[in-house]
Amino acid sequence: MLGSVSIVTFAAIFIIVVALIYAFSGGSVLITDRLGRLWQAGGGQQKVTRTLTASRQQATAATLSLLGKLFPTSTEQGAKVDPRLVQAGYRRPEAASAFRAAKVLVIVTFIAIVYFSGIWHGNAFIAFMIAVVLGFMSPDIWLSRKVRSRQQALRLALPDALDLLVICMEAGLGLDQALLYVGQELRIAHPEFCEELDLVNAEMHMGRTRLDALRSLSTRTGVDDIQALVATLIQTDRFGTSVSQSLRIHSDDLRTKRRQRAEEAAAKTTIKMLFPLVFFVFPALFVVIMGPAVIRLYHMFVEQR
């Protein structure tokens, strides 16, 4: 009887937690989002989503244009910032100027927070210096996180793209047609990678050679796995070997790397769990275990006095 009650209670709590997560996620759960896009491929909901996305992109483009006019950049300064912005997915000409403007706005915001909160009364120089440093570094930290997030998405999309590319090559398609087909088929599952493939195809249609377009892909993404893939394709095209066989070997090597990365992440979990255990779990355990004994000892010493 007690076991059945425990099972029912656990099931009820699990269902409530899952329902709350689904309710507060707002449709942002990855699996739900992807299934919804696949299920409503031709429905009106997708049209509404596309309309909202287009309006949001237009508003973002207008803001970038305005900030770009307010904070113009020289060619040398733009060249220094452009690689990180391109790797993060921002390719508009005003992106470098907008990034500089964001730095200025964040610095002003931090200074205003320090001034109006009264923190500067203790030591004005140190308070405003910390505000300026944090305001200057915050956009760089945010951009670095965006670059890492996009590179991780591209890295996770590469195995699926390689498998489909090998199938297309073995079915008789050329490399250009196979890249175009992969970019069309994986658009819902991996939009970032398909966007990069669309740029590669667009560059080849504009007259650039395949090798130059692939080198541009390697520079634009900054992902080591994509750089290795580009090097493999360039060597295959240069030496005239089988492209499908080279891609299959590269796909096997990529799976080995993924397994090694998973093993490395699993080996790091023990070190990462050490600090939460020491600072959060062990104190609570000590309070629960030693608390009654300490209280009893306290009462014994008080009664003896």
Q: Kindly indicate the confidence band of residue 224, based on its pLDDT and cuts at 50, 70 and 90.
A: confident
Determine contact, residues 183/176, Cβ cutoff 8 Å. Answer: no
Structure tokens at 57: 């992109």
* Maximum alpha-carbon separation in the chain: 96
Residue 127 C-alpha from the chain's centroid = 33
Provide φ and ψ at 58, rounded to 5°. Answer: -65, -40
| Helix and strand totals (H; E) in the chain | 12, 0
The CA-atom distances, in angstroms, between 184 and each of 7, 98, 150, 234, 241 are 47, 31, 19, 23, 27
pLDDT-above-70 percentage for the chain: 72
Amino acid 5: pLDDT:
46
pLDDT tens by residue, 171-199: 888 888 888 888 888 888 888 888 888 88
Amino acid 29: pLDDT:
47
Average pLDDT value for residue range 13-40: 52
The answer, yes or no, to whether residue 38 has pLDDT greater than 60, is: no
* pTM greater than the 0.75 cutoff: no
The CA-atom distances, in angstroms, between 82 and each of 20, 140, 288 are 42, 13, 55
Closest CA to 152 of 255, 251, 233, 221: 221
Average pLDDT value for residue range 223-227: 85
Mapping DSSP to helix (H, G, I), strand (E, B) and coil, where does residue 123 land?
Answer: coil
pLDDT-above-90 percentage for the chain: 0
Mapping DSSP to helix (H, G, I), strand (E, B) and coil, where does residue 187 land?
Answer: coil
Q: Kindly indicate the confidence band of residue 126, based on its pLDDT and cuts at 50, 70 and 90.
A: confident
Stronger pLDDT, 76 or 98, i.e. the higher one = 98
Structure tokens at 300: 């014994």
pLDDT tens by residue, 235-255: 887 787 778 888 888 888 888
pLDDT tens by residue, 80-109: 556 788 888 787 777 777 777 778 888 888
Average pLDDT value for residue range 218-231: 85
CA distance 57 to 93: 15
pLDDT tens by residue, 280-300: 888 888 888 888 887 888 777
Q: What is the CA radius of gyration of the chain?
A: 28
Burial zone of 128 (CB within 10 Å; 0-12 exposed, 13-18 middle, 19+ buried) = middle
Kindly report the CA angle at 198 between 196 and 200, in degrees rounded to 5?
75
The answer, yes or no, to whether residue 76 has pLDDT greater than 70, is: no
